[in-house]
Amino acid sequence: MRFAITSKGDSKSNTLMHKMKSYLLDFNLIYDEEQPDIVISVGGDGTLLYAFHRYSSRLDKTAFVGVHTGHLGFYADWVPEEIEKLVIAIAKTPFQVVEYPLLEVIVRYQNGGRETRYLALNESTVKAVNGTFVMDVEIRGQHFERFRGDGLCLSTPSGSTAYNKALGGAILHPSLPAIQLAEMASINNKVFRTVGSPLVLPGHHACLLKPVNEPDFKITIDHLSLLHKDVKSIQFRVADEKIRFARFRPFPFWKRVHDSFVAD
C-alpha cells in the first residue's frame, strides 16, 4: 500500500509525521506523495482540509485518516499517544471506507461561457467586495428571494459544525447527502425581506446565486479565499464526488459533537 503524510508544520506534528513515516516504511509500505492509497493528516481539521484539496483529483482512489495534535477536531479521530496502534492498523488491517458528501461550486462569468469548478469539504462563502451584498437566490430553477446583507454560506453536512454553526445553522449528520444555506446578517425591514432561516437542500436540488448589481465577489472554498470578477452566477449542489475516510474503529459523530460543544 502507498501512503503519504501531511503535517500542520509545528514541531510536535512534524515529529509525529517523521515517526509514523519511519514505522510504516519498516512495515514495507511505500511512501508516495503523488499517488497514495491513504493520506495521514497530522495536525487538526485545517491540516486535513489542506490534504483534501491537495488530493482532490484522487478522491476515488485515496482515503484519509487524521491524527490531531491540538484541539479536538471533527476529522481527526486519533491522538498522538495512539500512533503505534494506528500504524499497526494501517499496515495489518483492511480499513473500512466511510464516504461523506462534498459541495460543488461552479462560478460562471459574463464573458462568454467560461466557468470555474471547485469542491469544498466544509463550506463556501460569498461576500461583496464593497458595500452591501445583494444577490438573487434561485432554488431548483425558481426564484426564491433577493438577499441583502453581509453574505451567504453554503456548507456540507460535515462542515455544518464549522462556520455554518456560528451563523445559527443546524448540525447535520455527515452521512446525509445535502447542503445547507445560511445567511450572514441579512437586512430585514418593511422594504427588504429574506426567509431568515437556514435552508437544507437535498442532493437533487441546486442553489443558484445571481448578482443584482455588483459583479465582483469574494468567494471562499474552505480555507481558500478568492476574488472573482464579472460573475454571472454561482451554482451550488451536492457534488458527484465524495471524500473517503479510512476507519479502523467506530467514530461516533454525535459523541464528537457533544465533546466539542457540550462537555465541560
- Which residue type is seen at 127? K
State which amino acid sits at residue 52.
F
122 among the known binding-site residues? yes
* CB contact at 8 A, 257 and 171: yes
Annotated binding-site residue? 45 = yes
Q: What is the rounded end-to-end Cα distance, in angstroms, of the chain?
A: 40
| Catalytic entry in 26, 37, 45, 60 | 45
C-alpha cell at 7: 503535517
* Ligand-binding site membership of 117 (annotated): no
Distances (CA, A) of 199 to 223, 233, 243: 23, 19, 23
**45 included as an active-site residue:** yes
Helices (H), 123-242: 163-166
On whether 33 is known to bind a ligand per the annotation, the reply is no
C-alpha distances (whole Å) from 113 to each of 66, 109, 152, 208 are 39, 7, 24, 16
Amino acid sitting at position 195: V
44 among annotated binding-site residues: no
Amino acid at 50: Y
Binding region for NAD(+)? 45-46, 122-123, 148, 150, 185
Binding region? 45-46, 122-123, 148, 150, 185
So which residues are the catalytic ones?
A: 45
